Amino acid sequence: MDHSPAVLDFWCELQCPDCRTALADLHALRERYGDRLEVRLRHFPLEKHKHAYAAAQAAEEAFTQGKGWAYTEAVLETTGDLAARGEPYLVRTAEALGLDAEEFDTALIDGRHLLAVDADQAEGRAIGVTGTPTYVIGGERLDGGQGQEGLRARIEEIADRLLAGA
């Protein structure tokens, strides 16, 4: 029998305070489902946040180096620092997590992750993502930008249904 996990796409912007709030829900979901729920980070940098685009690229580099979620959460926990300090902060955060900071710096300069970020953003727009955080699970889009009350319960409801049918 195929026990493939349910997939939750988490459309996120690393300079977004609402996405930082959403971390509590993500932690609770991970605790409840473990590897039965695959949470995928999807990028949706907003123009109003000038470092969000660089941060999305940095997160991609962190996934390449094997610490994508740790990095994403570290940056989200300190959205104010990112706003104040910009790209040097992204590189310093990588360093603090024991990642190859020089490689981060190079990745931000050579734009190797631009296509991945752009592709996410285009897909997000195509499916109606307008702000962050937005969740997509089982074909259903849940917008957390308007308030996150009750969202986790709704995600759990859909995840339980998907996993029961798997």
pLDDT digits (tens, 9 = 90+) for 112-151: 999 999 999 999 999 999 999 999 999 999 988 666 778 9
Q: Which two tokens stand for residue 20?
A: 């930082």
**By three-state DSSP, how is residue 134 classified?**
strand
pLDDT in the model for residue 20? 92
pTM of the full structure: 0.92
Residues listed for the chain: 166
Per-residue pLDDT of the chain (166 residues; tens, 9 = 90+): 456 789 999 999 999 999 999 999 999 999 999 999 999 999 999 989 999 999 999 999 999 999 999 999 999 998 889 989 999 999 999 999 999 999 999 999 999 999 999 999 999 999 999 999 999 999 999 988 666 778 999 999 999 999 998 6
Q: Which amino acid is at 114?
A: L
pLDDT in the model for residue 1? 43
**Residues facing 8 on adjacent strands:** 39, 137
- Cis check for the bond before 133: say yes or no (omega within 30 of 0): yes
pLDDT in the model for residue 152? 92
How close are the terminal C-alpha atoms of the chain, in Å? Answer: 8
Residue 106: count of CB within 10 angstroms of its CB: 12
Distances (CA, A) of 153 to 26, 87, 129: 12, 36, 20
